[in-house]
Amino acid sequence: MTHGDRKVNRQHWQQSLGLLILTAVLSGCAGFGTEQTPARLLTPEQLALQSARKAGPQDGWWRKLNDPQLNKLIDNAVANSPSLQQADARIRQAVQAAGIVESRDGLQVDAALAADRQKFSDNSLTGSELRGAGYKLIQNTYTAQISAAWTLDIWGKNAAATRAALGAARSAEFDALQSRLVLSQSVIVQYTTLQRQLAQQKINQARIRLAETRLALTHARVSAGLQSADTQRQIEMQLASLRAQTASLAADAQRARHALAALAGQAPDSLDGLTPAELGPAPAFDEEGITADLLGRRPDIASRRAQVEAMSESVKEARAEFYPNVEISGLIGLQSLAWSNFINRSSKMFDVSPAITLPIFHSGELRSNLRQQQAAYDMAVAGYNQSVVNGLRDAADALSGQRQAQVQLNQAHASVESSRRASDAMLSRFRVGMVNKLNLLDTQDAELTQQSSRIEAEAYSRLSWANLNIALGGGLLAGPAQR
């Protein structure tokens, strides 16, 4: 490099430095304007709660029911559910979007190799000059170059954009966890419904057998003139009603199987032969272990919090738009009009271009963008606060429902035990001839009716337990089954 070249380069960089200084001076030309106070997240103190500790939802919480068949159904649903596959695709999409944003903060390098053949018009200025200089009007140009560009993230705009994109990806991950929780709850609901319907079918079939025996005895008494025909017709109506209920329960059970198959992404008839374990009580729970910090396990609330954090970074990115953007780009390569000279030293070329973009006047575009991002942040905060309030309500409702379910279950057990003692006492009196068989059948039917009520209470207890787990993000601790 000659002395003259060094002098030109020194002047070039001096001019660039001067431009940077001028940019810093003029950077105040694009002002933020008057700003509103941003929305604030609800604090545990405002909600009269203890501070929550971060924790993830407990995977496999349904295994506390100790039902291998149910575990298999949920595992299959998680593996094959189209809704979870969509959620997984959204996660991958969000992660790759974050990768695209993050890549802007690094060096961008491209390579190009080109060959161009062009014929200039005889009547054009370029054609006239080429012809006058003795060159042909058809010219070949060969170019090979490597170009690079690097944007200096002086104000943290790219870093904020990357954190915002990563926050969106975390939100998508929490949404997928919430979808998994809801899916597991849906399987439990349909499985419990199937258990209840099959158990009620057995009760109805036993009541039908009792009703048929009562009908035969009553028919004999009516034929003998010992009883009016009205009693017989009442039993016939009861028998018809029981048979209709049994048929309806069978149809409902089949629909529950179809629903379970759909949840697992399978054909409707794939679970037609499914016979679940007998319905039993839900696991025990400890109310002292149910604290406000379990709300931190809820993926929907965690997703909302991730959205707030992402929008906070988007606001920072919008603020950085007000500051100068500095980019350095350049290229190095070879270019020649003749292939024979292409790889000669004389064909070498290079270019270095520091560039500064300074926002001065954009007719309010930058301010509007900042206000838009601030409004989106306020919306995200409001959404989070609403999710927290709704979560507290859901948890309170679920806990109340579980308490009520336990009360009903205890009452149902007491009623079954009382009716069983009454039935045993009636059987003893029947054996010594103190009562007739119709009296015994009536007492046995009453016992079956109480057993039917207990089945409903057990199903309600199971569903309430599952709902409480969902309301607490799958974080409920369990002990032995309730009796």
CA distance 78 to 211: 45
Domain count, the chain: 1
Q: Does residue 395 sit within a domain?
A: yes
Within a domain: residue 247?
yes
**Tens digits of pLDDT across the chain (483 residues):** 455 555 545 555 555 555 555 555 454 445 555 556 666 655 555 444 444 444 444 668 888 889 999 999 999 998 888 888 888 888 888 888 888 877 777 778 888 888 888 887 877 777 777 777 777 778 788 888 888 877 777 777 888 888 888 888 888 888 888 888 889 999 999 999 999 999 999 999 999 999 999 889 888 888 877 777 888 898 889 999 999 999 999 999 999 999 999 988 888 898 988 889 998 878 877 666 566 566 666 888 888 888 888 888 888 888 887 777 777 787 887 787 777 777 787 778 877 777 777 676 665 778 888 888 888 888 988 888 888 888 888 888 888 898 899 999 999 999 999 999 999 999 999 898 888 888 899 999 999 999 999 999 999 999 999 998 888 887 544 433 343
Residues 6+ apart with CB under 8 A from 204: 242, 245, 246, 249
Is residue 127 in some structural domain?
Answer: no
Query: Does any domain span residue 404?
Result: yes
Establish if 401 belongs to a structural domain: yes
Nearest Cα residue to 314 out of 173, 174, 152, 168: 168
CATH label of the domain that carries residue 236: 1.20.1600.10
Is residue 15 one of the residues assigned to a domain? no
Q: Has residue 131 been placed in a domain?
A: no
β-sheet bridge partners, residue 215: none
| Alpha-carbon gap, residue 39 to 41, rounded angstroms | 7
Give the structural domain span for 281.
42-105+153-323+359-481
Residue 270 lies in a domain: yes
**Long-range pairs of 439-442 with CB within 8 A, sequence gap ≥ 24:** 441/210, 441/213, 441/214, 441/217, 442/214
